[in-house]
Amino acid sequence: MPAELNPTNPEPTSQTPTGRPSRLFAVDALRGLIIVLMALDHANYFIAQKHPSSEIWDGGFPVYHDILTFLTRFVTHFAAPGFFLLMGVGMFLFARSRSERGWSRWAVIRHFLVRGLLLMALQVLVVNRAWELSLQGWGVTIYVGVLFALGAAMFIASILVWLKPPYLLALTLILFVGTELLHPGLGMWNSVSHGPVSVIHLYPGGNNTLWSFYPLWPWMELVVFGILLGNWL
């Protein structure tokens, strides 16, 4: 029987099992496949140098000179969305597992809050500093990359893992439709302002002061949908 949650106790209780927690092979295998796709994408960009560099709002349309280059980029498009989706799945499975072991809700939320902050700190303090070593130069003051977006999404989603599936589905649809409605139309191509609020929250782009490849809310919908999927596993 799962241990009953005690909201006043932030630590695991004595009912915590001592056995090794079970894992879902399908989730781990999919995560491994996504890592392979990420490695392929990075190799295509940094080594083969056939990855288009203009994949931002109002950037130029990508041009592929052969079918292999197109197909390589096509399959690697699933890497980043897969990480956000599986993070949501993993958050739900972790919360369920730790609840059964006697963790309180606050203990689970605190775990996600700390990990989210650590991911954002790694982006700012480690990854961004590493980009400054680039031989091509690096002129961006603040860069919002994938680790920052994952950390921010985990920070916010820490309180969402407890929602019932209908609410998670509704929130996913709200985020999906809302970000599409707020996104600039094609008539504003190459004429929108890359202000800090827009590039952090809505669409990628920026300037030398602030650059974002992973705006929060369009990616947040995948995390919420991942939490919903976790309910069905």
CB 16 within 8 Å of CB 102 = yes
Tokens in use for 70?
A: 């197109």
Q: Give which of 233, 5, 9, 7 is closest to 101, Cα–Cα.
A: 5
Tokens in use for 199?
A: 């590039």
Alpha-carbon dihedral 113, 115, 120, 122, rounded to 10 degrees: 160
Instruction: Using DSSP, state whether 208 is helix, strand or coil.
Output: coil
Sign of the torsion angle spanned by Cα atoms 30, 35, 38, 43:
negative
CB 223 within 8 Å of CB 85 = yes
Cα–Cα distance for residue pair 228/89, rounded to 1 Å? 7
Which H or E run contains 38? helix 25-46
For residue 7, the tally of other CB atoms under 10 A from its CB is: 9
Residue 39: what are its φ and ψ, rounded to 5°? -65, -40
Instruction: Using DSSP, state whether 49 is helix, strand or coil.
Output: coil
Provide the residue-wise pLDDT of the chain in tens; the chain has 233 residues: 334 344 444 454 444 444 555 788 999 999 999 999 999 999 988 888 887 776 776 667 788 888 998 999 999 999 999 999 999 999 999 999 999 999 999 999 999 999 999 999 999 999 998 888 877 777 788 889 999 999 999 999 999 999 999 999 999 999 999 998 887 776 666 666 667 778 888 888 778 888 888 999 999 999 999 999 999 98
Cα–Cα distance for residue pair 204/61, rounded to 1 Å? 15
The model's pTM is 0.84
Q: Distance from first CA to last CA of the chain, Å, rounded?
A: 18
What pLDDT sits at residue 5?
A: 42
What pLDDT sits at residue 7?
A: 43
For residue 116, the tally of other CB atoms under 10 A from its CB is: 20
Helical H segments across 77-214, by residue range: 79-100, 105-122, 128-131, 146-157, 165-182, 196-201
